[in-house]
């Protein structure tokens, strides 16, 4: 709440709106836990010490603009430490068996943050830190990240670009900020095929987003067999959002959640969501609640809510990705 950004879409009122909605629904049965500041050694697995120090200094000096749209205030550094700490603690809770699913709802968001550069409202890459921690500290071999924020998660994309231990799948509007994430960006080195970019046009709706989850992300999970799935849960693909031009609804987010939860349950693995964007306050709050409600439901096989044939764009994506993931060959 003290990460003050002035007149800015990424504002404290986002958390107020989410808390109000969830409180009205008795937190959907979820237990609330606090998020400690991230351990500095864990933070430095993604962000160099000099960069972390530069953010700390900028905040200590009163804050200001880090780039054209990324603002910090005196307490932003501490907020960012706890946002990152929340996603890392979530990994511990999930891997310790305390919960099969969880949601880390913090600001600032993280998926645009590069190792040594803040951008797109993001200071530290919360989900990349969580994945890195799961691999390095918790000994996992394979983590899958599904990013359905309307913007491409360029930071996460780049951090794991050459890794075959993190399968990064992003559905994002194109063209849109930050301009990265073409379908042709498939990773590099050992990580070729482990970066799966699924750009969608303005106007993309529940059907397209859910079909990409059901017919691309779910079979990829079945092939990759991750030990943990993390979702970069942004809600700016919502039809009411002022920053994106997509047409996703609360039910769309719920459907995507159900499909991912289903495949995680069949794999016997946990799933954790990390809040990214979402700037229409009411839509954001309702969509987070819809996600939590869907996590609570008995897992249902994907496809049941989509119906009909896959949109042509989905068939083309499957064909393209099948060279790396043969299970996606065919319609
Ligand atoms: Zn976004």
Give pLDDT tens digits for 34-57. Answer: 999 999 999 999 999 999 999 999
Q: In sequence order, which residues have a C-beta less than 8 Å from that of residue 155 and are 6 or more positions away? A: 110, 111, 112, 113, 114, 119, 122, 125, 128
The alpha carbon of 204 and the centre of ligand 1 are apart by a number of angstroms equal to 15
Residue 300's pLDDT is: 76
The alpha carbon of 276 and the centre of ligand 1 are apart by a number of angstroms equal to 6
Helix (H, G, I), strand (E, B) or coil at 186: coil
What are the structure tokens assigned to 188, written together?
């590099």
What are the structure tokens assigned to 154, written together?
């360029």
- High-pLDDT (> 90) share of the chain, %: 95
Residue 298's pLDDT is: 83
The alpha carbon of 330 and the centre of ligand 1 are apart by a number of angstroms equal to 32
Residue bearing tokens 């890459």: 125
| Active-site residue (options: 3, 82, 106, 112) | 112
The alpha carbon of 277 and the centre of ligand 1 are apart by a number of angstroms equal to 4
Average pLDDT estimate for 146-158 = 98
* Tens digit of each residue's pLDDT (9 = 90 or more) over 276-321: 999 999 999 999 999 999 999 987 777 654 557 788 999 999 999 9
* Tens digit of each residue's pLDDT (9 = 90 or more) over 75-123: 999 999 999 999 999 999 999 999 999 999 999 999 999 999 999 999 9
pLDDT at 227 over 60: yes
Nearest-angstrom CA–CA distance, 141 and 227: 7
CA triplet 36, 37, 42: central angle to 5 degrees? 115
Query: Ligand 1 being an ion, which residues bring their Cβ within 5 A of it?
Result: 149, 151, 234, 236, 277
pLDDT at 253 over 60: yes
Residue 32's pLDDT is: 97
- High-pLDDT (> 70) share of the chain, %: 98
The alpha carbon of 134 and the centre of ligand 1 are apart by a number of angstroms equal to 24
The alpha carbon of 141 and the centre of ligand 1 are apart by a number of angstroms equal to 28
Give catalytic status of residue 112 as yes or no: yes
Chain mean pLDDT for the chain? 96
pLDDT at 127 over 80: yes
State the CB neighbour count (10 A cutoff) for residue 281.
18
């Amino acid at each position: 709440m003290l990460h003050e950004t002035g007149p800015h879409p990424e504002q404290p009122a986002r958390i107020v709106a989410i808390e109000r909605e969830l409180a009205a629904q008795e937190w959907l049965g979820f237990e609330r836990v606090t998020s400690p500041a991230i351990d500095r050694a864990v933070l430095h697995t993604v962000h160099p010490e000099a960069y972390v120090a530069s953010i700390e200094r900028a905040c200590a000096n009163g804050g200001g603009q880090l780039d054209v749209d990324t603002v910090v205030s005196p307490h932003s550094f501490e907020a960012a430490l706890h946002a990152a700490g929340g996603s890392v603690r979530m990994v511990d809770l999930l891997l310790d068996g305390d919960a099969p699913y969880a949601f880390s709802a913090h600001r600032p968001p993280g998926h645009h943050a590069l190792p040594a550069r803040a951008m797109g409202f993001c200071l530290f890459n919360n989900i990349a830190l969580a994945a890195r921690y799961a691999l390095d500290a918790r000994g996992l071999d394979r983590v899958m990240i599904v990013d359905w924020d309307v913007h491409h998660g360029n930071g996460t994309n780049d951090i794991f670009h050459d890794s075959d231990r993190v399968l990064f799948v992003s559905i994002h509007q194109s063209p849109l900020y930050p301009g990265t994430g073409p379908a042709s960006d498939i990773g590099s080195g050992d990580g070729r095929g482990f970066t799966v970019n699924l750009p969608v046009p303005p106007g993309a709706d529940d059907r397209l987003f859910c079909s990409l989850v059901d017919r691309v992300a779910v079979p990829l999970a079945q092939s990759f067999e991750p030990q943990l799935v993390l979702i970069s849960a942004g809600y700016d693909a919502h039809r009411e959002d002022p920053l994106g031009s997509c047409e996703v609804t609360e039910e769309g987010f719920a459907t995507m959640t159900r499909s991912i939860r289903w495949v995680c349950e069949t794999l016997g693995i946990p799933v954790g969501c990390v809040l990214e964007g979402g700037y229409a306050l009411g839509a954001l709050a309702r969509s987070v609640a819809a996600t939590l409600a869907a996590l609570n439901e008995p897992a249902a096989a994907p496809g049941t809510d989509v119906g009909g044939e896959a949109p042509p764009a989905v068939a083309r994506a499957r064909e393209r990705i099948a060279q790396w993931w043969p299970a996606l060959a065919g319609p």
